[in-house]
Amino acid sequence: MTRDRFTYTYHPETPELGKTWLEHATKLARENSIAFQISQTPENPQGKVTVAFGKNEDLRRFKSLVFKI
Task: Tell me how far apart the alpha carbons of residues 47 and 57 are, in angstroms, rounded to a whole number.
Answer: 26
Is the pLDDT at 36 greater than 70? The verdict is: no
4-66 has which fold? Ribosomal Protein S8; Chain: A, domain 1 (3.30.1370)
Share of the chain above pLDDT 70, in %: 6
> In DSSP terms, which residues pair with 5 in a beta bridge?
52
Per-residue confidence band for 33, with pLDDT thresholds at 50, 70 and 90: low
What's the pLDDT band for 31 if we cut at 50, 70, 90?
confident
Q: Under the phi-then-psi rule, with left for phi > 0, alpha for psi from -120 to 50, and beta for the rest, what region is 17?
A: alpha
**How many angstroms separate the CA atoms of 62 and 31, rounded?**
11
Non-local (6+) Cβ contacts of 27 within 8 A are none
Give the per-residue pLDDT at 27. 74
Give the pLDDT confidence score for residue 25 in this predicted structure.
67
Cα separation, 21 vs 30, in Å, equals 14
